[in-house]
Amino acid sequence: MENIAGREGSFFEVDLSLLKENFKKLQKIAPKKKIIFMVKANAYGHGAIPVVEYCVTELGIREFGVATIGEGLELRYNLEDLEFEIYLFSEFDLKNKKHIERVLDKRLIPVISNFNDLKLFIENPQFKYFPLFLKFNTGMNRLGISSEECDEVVKYLKANDRTEIFHLCSHFACSSQSYKNKSNQRQNETFKNIKAKFESDGLKILNSSLSNSGAIEQNLGMEETHIRPGLMLYGPSSLIDSIRNTSPWKGKIISVLKAQVLKKTQMKKGDPVGYGATPLPCSGTLLIIALGYGDGFSTLYQSVELSCGEAIGKVAGRVNMDMAQIIFPEGSTNLPEVGEIFNVWDHNPESLYRISSQRGTITYELFCEIGQRVPRVYKKS
């Protein structure tokens, strides 16, 4: 297909065979667990359609989590022939006829996260045979039925002859911090109590899940039937810098952000570059790359170090809409020529961690911010 609104030379390359490698590694550290793969936000920027297609056809993953109805519809419209479940984690309105119609027609299973929605769901005969997926708030205080409402929920379900819960889940607030963290321990315990309450009152829980990437990496909440990884399958560890080395997770980044070199010049320390005429911090080789904030290559990349083989350069001056400048100190070798490609990051997670820590952000955001102008290109080798 012709790329009619995007870039030509710079692109976001996704190697799906590395997704397979990561999946195999995940199965090793979480044996026998069923997986709900989180593919919200366009599969964390990687392209939800090709990612889900690959997961269903090549990896046998059949359950996916999205945030919005639109994300669910995009998958259904484009992958009509494939069989898989879609769970809708946050944005839907069970009073809205159009939402209800789409949810039913396209089988987007809503994750019920408050008592009101539970009533709308149970009291609507159209949902009589639809799976009941419940999410409890165990301490994050975002979405989720309050754990204090547990008794009432149980009573309500029994009164309405709903004795089977398709899936019961909750979500950790601090799983990227140590599992020993009080909040992690408390949430884990609260969830176990909710589950026990359901079961002791005769409600059958068919499936349950608690662990996102950080929790999986720390073997936290892993007593459930399912896990819900997102980030780790795209490569990075979810743990904060200071405890990352405790993680058994050795994923490879499945993507490389590739920028075409537009110009390569020798410059002197103090020479002005770009908007604002920022003086260069050192003499050396200046690369102008075809990525800017119009591509999601944020102005916050200014002064961030980027490597190229052995050489370490620095984003020099302001990032502009279409381009950015990188200065490599004198003596740097094997730099790309004009027309060739510079890798902002590569499959080695360290290249991504350096950027996220120097930018003061998280790897999640580095993926999600990549703009629409950057074509996603897929390979499977």
- Interface residue with ligand PLP among 171, 195, 314, 376 (CB under 6 A) is 171
**236-243: long-range contacts, CB 8 A cutoff, minimum separation 24:** 236/349, 236/352, 236/353, 236/363, 237/213, 237/349, 238/175, 238/176, 238/212, 238/213, 238/214, 239/176, 239/177, 239/214, 240/176, 240/177, 241/353, 241/357, 243/177, 243/178
347 scored as a contact of ligand PLP (CB under 6 A): no
Residue (36 or 288) nearer to ligand PLP, CB: 36
Task: Assess 238 for contact with ligand PLP (CB under 6 A).
Answer: yes
89 near ligand PLP, rule: CB under 6 A: yes
Q: CA 290 to CA 72: how far, in whole Å?
A: 33
Phi/psi region, residue 86 (left: phi>0; alpha: psi -120 to 50; beta: rest), is: beta
From 16, 18, 19, 38, residue interacting with ligand PLP (rule: CB under 6 A):
38
Query: Does residue number 187 form part of the binding site for ligand PLP (CB under 6 A)?
Result: no
Of the candidates 99, 1, 96, 111, the one whose C-alpha atom is nearest the C-alpha of residue 49 is 1
Task: Please say which residue, 66 or 289, places its beta carbon nearer to ligand PLP.
Answer: 66
**184 part of the interface to ligand PLP, by CB under 6 A:** no
Q: Is 349 in the site for ligand PLP (CB under 6 A)?
A: no
Amino acid at 326: I
Is residue 144 involved in binding ligand PLP (CB under 6 A)? no
Number of residues counted as binding ligand PLP (CB under 6 A): 12
d(CA 55, CA 26): 14
Q: Which stretch binds ligand PLP (CB under 6 A): 8-16, 21-29, 178-186, 206-214?
A: 206-214
Which residues here bind ligand PLP, judged by CB under 6 A?
38, 40, 89, 171, 212-214, 228-231, 238
